[in-house]
Amino acid sequence: MRQVDHFIAGGAGGGSGRTHKVWNPSTGEVQAEVALGDAALLDRAIETAKKVQPGWAMTNPQRRARVMFRFKELIEANMQELAELLASEHGKVVDDAKGDVQRGLEVIEYACGIPQVLKGEYTLGAGPGIDVYSMRQPIGIGAGITPFNFPAMIPMWMFGMAIAAGNAFILKPSERDPSVPVRLAELFLEAGAPEGLLQVVHGDKEMVDAILDHPDIAGVSFVGSSDIAHYVYKRGVENGKRVQAMGGAKNHGIVMPDADLDQVVNDLAGAAFGSAGERCMALPVVVPVGEETAERLKEKLIPAINALRVGVSTDPDAHYGPVVTPEHKARIEQWIDTAEQEGAEIVIDGRGFSLQGHEKGFFVGPTLIDRVTPQMKSYQEEIFGPVLQIVRAADFEEAVRLPSEHQYGNGVAIFTRNGHAAREFASRVNVGMVGVNVPIPVPVSYHSFGGWKRSAFGDTNQYGTEGLKFWTKVKTVTQRWPDGGGDGSNAFLIPTMG
């Protein structure tokens, strides 16, 4: 059986005995075992990071950027291999896996501009003979704890910014698809990074707790489900770290009566079912405004959803592949049961789906559920599967209220031809990322990513200038260079600039 090891100090870390199985969701077979680390292993990684980080922080930003450039080229050269490995452990189709790598790569591209974005601020003559300048210095050692659903993109969101800013980084990827993060660390080393700058420690709660409690880790970035995000946030902050912790989502797509419904149906097919719905920016709730819009939309959605092709991750014609584990398949099917028991109408039922020739794979058929109401548990919670729920809104006000009052506030989209309605919606809705006729509004790498409410704890977003803020601290120097000896001022008073 293939073993997935930690990546410490530029090489394999050696397991502590405990392991976790890594599935191939398309075949339903266990394809590897990943080592699960503990506090002692983390200590080793930290010792290495402490040795390498000060030198890296002193390496001029242009040289740091060169490593990022080479890393970018290596990822591009290895794109196919990375995507296939990713697809085989996650289950998403290979083209989608390429998108996963590509969106992370865009953050690396942004990080290549680190000399420009780290320039700092300067005030000449803030007082008589006094100049003030501020700089952003790395926090030291940062850690990232990442979810299974984007095993390439989310690690790169984090370590791309953290390392370019001068930090050492310890990545704790999801134990469900751990191989691509290790490949990324190997490629980073090949790109010229010093050994131990980017290390990968695998593990479960034990390793997460060790990270949160370690006094030498200054900042922790987490992405995963909300209860764990909240736990990570509280424990990390209690230990004096800065923490950003992104959580779950339940994104709504508002469909106004004037929307181009053919376009909406096409967008929803991708946004609700792509990657088997295992995206935090998926659109699992559609909100048609008015009964007439709801009926027209439903009529068009049914054939489009029935035409979706579910396949193994290597099937080039498949729209989406299996979900990540047998437990997750069972959980999604339970949510469909719950929706039915709550009185919603199961229009297309994906339960019990079996793919011919791959009967053991973790497939869930596309599911459409109508007559869902805000009181239903299946609406309030994240399902994270290929399930689209229709919640009918009477008017625009109700359509603004639904996502605004939901516990999650990651993304939302409005489909309309009316610029005023779109503008009004975007400014009033209580959600962090808004799409106008854009179903999955993941911001480009030079903006930044972050939801509101229970979709994110902490106050800085991922990547872009927000990411840079998270991974650096500001130092401000106020300096005076008197000509000659002393200037007679009283050194015991707080100096004023006037």
Binding mask 398-417 for ligand NAD (x = CB under 6 A): ------------x-------
Residue nearest to ligand NAD (CB): 224
Tell me how far, at minimum, the Cβ of 93 lies from ligand NAD, in Å. Answer: 18
C-alpha span between 298 and 370 (Å, rounded): 9
Residue 423 lies near ligand NAD (rule: CB under 6 A): no
Decide: 74 and 7 in contact? Cβ < 8 Å.
Answer: no
Residue 205 lies near ligand NAD (rule: CB under 6 A): yes
| Residue numbers 157-176 binding ligand NAD by CB under 6 A | 172, 174-175
Judging by beta carbons within 10 Å of its beta carbon (0-12, 13-18, 19+), is residue 36 exposed, middle or buried?
A: buried
Residues noted as catalytic: 280
Beta partners for 310? 320
Among 16, 24, 53, 149, binds ligand NAD (CB under 6 A): 149
Strands 433-436 and 452-453: unpaired
C-alpha span between 1 and 30 (Å, rounded): 9
C-alpha span between 174 and 106 (Å, rounded): 21
Select from 115-123, 223-231, 387-395, 436-444 the region that touches ligand NAD (CB under 6 A): 223-231
CA distances from 176 to 27, 162, 464 (A): 15, 24, 28
For residue 15, how many other CB atoms are within 10 A of its CB?
Answer: 19
Residue 146 lies near ligand NAD (rule: CB under 6 A): yes
Select from 42-50, 122-130, 200-208, 420-428 the region that touches ligand NAD (CB under 6 A): 200-208
Q: Which is nearer to ligand NAD, 204 or 216 (CB)?
A: 204
Among 140, 385, 451, 464, binds ligand NAD (CB under 6 A): 451
Residue 455 lies near ligand NAD (rule: CB under 6 A): yes
Residue 38 lies near ligand NAD (rule: CB under 6 A): no
Decide: 464 and 443 in contact? Cβ < 8 Å.
Answer: yes
CA distances from 116 to 84, 159, 243 (A): 35, 18, 26
Among 38, 195, 204, 424, binds ligand NAD (CB under 6 A): 204
Residue 382 lies near ligand NAD (rule: CB under 6 A): yes
Binding mask 243-262 for ligand NAD (x = CB under 6 A): ---xxxx-------------
Quote the tokens at residue 179: 């191989």
C-alpha span between 434 and 414 (Å, rounded): 8
Decide: 385 and 277 in contact? Cβ < 8 Å.
Answer: yes
Q: Could you give phi then psi for residue 21, rounded to 5 degrees?
A: -80, 145
Quote the tokens at residue 191: 């790109």
Residue 153 lies near ligand NAD (rule: CB under 6 A): no
Residue 384 lies near ligand NAD (rule: CB under 6 A): yes
Residue 274 lies near ligand NAD (rule: CB under 6 A): no
Among 13, 147, 160, 386, binds ligand NAD (CB under 6 A): 147
Quote the tokens at residue 255: 């469909």
Tell me how far, at minimum, the Cβ of 18 lies from ligand NAD, in Å. Answer: 13
Instruction: Give the interface with ligand NAD as residue ranges (CB under 6 A).
Output: 145-150, 172, 174-175, 204-205, 208, 223-225, 228, 246-249, 280, 382, 384, 410, 451, 455
